[in-house]
Structure 1
Amino acid sequence: NGVGGWRSAARWGAASALLGLAVLRAFVSDSPRAAHDPQNPVRQSTLASVPPLRGSSSALWIEAPLRAVRIVRAVLAANVLPSLRSILTSGTFWIVAVAHAGGAMVRSSDRILGTYLSDTSGGTVPDERAGGLTVFLSLGILAGLAVGGGTFTRLAPYPRLRKAMVVRLYILAASMCYALSFLAVPWVRSAVGSPGVVTMLQVLAACGMGAGVAVQDYIIPPIVGATFGTDKGLYAAYTDGVSYGVGSFVWRVVGGAVEEGNPQ
């Protein structure tokens, strides 16, 4: 039944997450020197700057919380605030983060892609099948990484060619977005004549849309993040945060348009 199917999907999802965690734990190191070595550790000198506990045991319940507050303040001053300042005052970070919003929106569009396919199919694509068709967006991203990622790496000595490649990929992604919008127009679907052909074209457009943002979404941010040294983890987190923040405003507008529109 439906409940059993969802339970099975949840079990497979949990198992795949645990497998990924095990692979990262076993084979991915935190630094080039050692496994599980923090990139921006709290230095002993920072902790030593906080006076140790003194006094009678009856006063420890007052002094211990105060020392904990001093430690937190010392860590904020020595580790957190310098890292935040390094990230948030960088123009490169803001350029990449805002540009990353487009890729983040495409990557998260699978949440509404199934609804789009179902609503624009004229009843020929049931909801459960439409949800499964969203996998082609992920397949497009994988194809983009497999093909475009290798090409982007080989073009490392040629920055201008890399830039031209990224521009072409953005054009591809934008074109596929426009194709999806046109394929939702009733007279376009009527002109094509076959709902199955329309669905096939929509799936291909979704696949191309994913391929068009794969390099920008998964390859360029880590390359830029490597220039931030020990702050690259914070850079990655804030890049995603800014991109999803920008994307949320766009999704709010799109969501309102979809809610008020008539797909048929």
Structure 2
Amino acid sequence: MKKLMLFIIVLALIVGCSSQKGNPEEGSEISNPFTPKPNFINEEGTTIEERFLLPEGFERLEVEEGSFAAYLRRLPLKAHGTKVSYYDGRTKNKSGVYIGVVDMDIDDRDLQQCADAIIRLRAEYFYERGEIDKIHFNFTNGFRADYSKWMEGYRVSASGNDVKWVKTAEASNNYDSFKKYLNIVFAYAGTISLENELMAVAVEDMKIGDVFIQGGSPGHAVVVVDMARNETTGEVIFLLAQSYMPAQETQILVNPMDEYLSPWYSLSFGETLRTPEWVFNRENLKRFE
């Protein structure tokens, strides 16, 4: 009889615990662990546009052929599953950060970090189009470094905060010289200078190529590389890319705020945008003029 009573008491406790776990507080949702997450990845895709599929009902925003937006959307990607490499050859094995790697070389020095990667993309776009006069970036002290000046054989001479051009080389416009120019920019520019160089833009007016940036030491910056809209609901989504510290390959970010939308982000993200390695505010969105 005692054994029977003990069994009844234990059974009642088990049922009671199960009942509590199965009845969450009013207004909360029960997550279904068996609901599969959407797969927005085409593993055979070789560009951002081809690799990242859209949620149902969405269409990519139309962009002008030959524009910076079109360039970013068609950035080449390394094979699906490739790990990000640091400048020194080490691998970034951090999970929950990126879902794709841009197929673009980095130097073997710790130079091409977050703001630098965005500068690199902008410069590569204009270099590819032969629009040399549009390749210019400011150093942190305000000095404007024009690639057209570098092409003429002028080099940067820095003494403390005093920076000037000095003619020390032959005129050249080959790709190797262009890369050396970029390394100088990377060394003297950063999130502080790039933030000051860009103009503020409202999140509602976001375009591909816009940058979320917080200047500082350290600061951080990510760039919008693709966008799409649901014409029925009006919802807009976007993809982000970044480099980080130490210098590393540019990567397409996952969305830590919504695993069922990732790697896409919704424009309706609220007051703060949480990315895998940094949190931005709505006011941090900027644009190249």
- TM-score category (smaller protein): under 0.3
User: More helix by proportion, 1 or 2?
Assistant: 1
Higher relative contact order (CA 8 A, sep 6+): 1
Return the TM-score normalized by structure 2. Answer: 0.25
Return the TM-score normalized by structure 1. Answer: 0.26
User: More strand by proportion, 1 or 2?
Assistant: 2
